[in-house]
Amino acid sequence: PPHLRVTGIHKRFGGLHALRGVDFEVARGEVMALVGDNGAGKSTLMKVLAGAYLADEGEFWLDGEQVLVGGPTDAADLGIQIVYQDLALCENLDVAANLSLGAEPVKPGWGFLPRFLRPIDEMEMEVKAQKAIDRLEVRTLKSVRALVGGLSGGQRQAIAIARAVGAESSVVMLDEPTAALGVAQTRQVLNVVRRLRDTNHAVVYISHNMRDIFEVADRICILRHGANVGTWRTAETTPDEIVVAMTRGLDEGQTH
């Protein structure tokens, strides 16, 4: 059974009907690619799943039970995490600090002070960061004390993913994580995606790159004009078939 399932999702922005009754599901241990032309509604669907946008209509199901998602905190509590296109990392902080941003471990015995005055337990922060990096097997990162500003695009993506993936997360959603990356760095991110699947996460992966998708995804869901037009197993289809299904009708001048 799917881990996360949504049914009948509608989302409007004023007069624009961005999602038109979308059903979507993803299982644990599965990478579900989400594809579609620009403006098809991919990012909107992901944001709805992450609670960042509230759906106008529709239902959420987790492991077969209906749940309410009223905002990002609800989604995070359910283990649903999103890694945004703009990674929002702090360039002038190191990897360890970025990974514990807002939840820095406090030195034992200083809990009586107001939060902002408590001294950070640097050792503990480092250990936790290293664990998060090891979980994803990011082998190119030499030290969690490296400044984020000096990292490659692939490493940044990996750090942003590591930050989203906590002990409690079960769904990780990535919005075009390789869009700005070269070949070697894309490789690195695809390895992290595989690693997420192998650690039993449900992964939603938005990309325009068919080669990457066929390399890493188990299934492909196509959005067209805010509607889910079908889901294909990568083992049972070809990139050409997907592109045809993606663009069918689009050259006839349809718009929102």
Binding footprint of ligand ADP on the chain (CB under 6 A): 13, 16, 18, 36, 38-44, 256
- Least Å distance, CB 14 to ligand ADP, is 7
* Residues near 238 by beta carbon (within 8 Å), at least 6 away in sequence: none
Distance CA 226, CA 22 (A): 7
- With beta carbons less than 8 A apart as the criterion, state whether 227 and 39 touch: no
CB of 24 to Mg ion, least distance (A): 15
Selected range binding Mg ion among 36-44, 53-61, 110-118, 123-131, rule: CB under 5 A: 36-44
Segments of 48-122 assigned E as strands: 57-62, 65-67, 80-83
Burial pattern 97-111, b for ≥16 Cβ within 10 A else e, equals bbbbeeebbbeeeee
CB 253 within 8 A of CB 66: no
- Which range binds Mg ion by CB under 5 A, 30-38, 53-61, 107-115, 230-238? 30-38
Residue whose CB is less far from ligand ADP, 40 or 83:
40
2 binds, among ligand ADP, Mg ion, none (CB under 5 to 8 A by kind): none
Q: Of these, 18, 22, 43, 193, which contacts Mg ion (CB under 5 A)? A: 43
Q: Which is nearer to Mg ion, 85 or 143 (CB)?
A: 85
Instruction: Give least dist CB 36 to Mg ion, A.
Output: 9
Rule CB under 5 A: choose which of 1, 14, 15, 38 binds Mg ion.
Answer: 38
Please give the C-alpha separations between residue 7 and each of 20, 66, 174, in angstroms, as whole numbers.
11, 11, 21
40 interacts with, out of ligand ADP, Mg ion, none, CB within 5 to 8 A per kind: ligand ADP
Which C-beta is closer to ligand ADP: that of 94 or that of 175? 175
Helices 122-135, 153-164: inter-axial angle, 10-degree rounding: 100
Four-point Cα dihedral 17, 175, 162, 51, nearest 10: 0
219 binds, among ligand ADP, Mg ion, none (CB under 5 to 8 A by kind): none
Residue whose CB is less far from ligand ADP, 43 or 98: 43
| Residue 100 lies near Mg ion (rule: CB under 5 A) | no
**What does the alpha-carbon distance between residue 94 and residue 72 come to, in Å, rounded to a whole number?**
26
Per CB under 5 A, residues contacting Mg ion are 38, 42-43
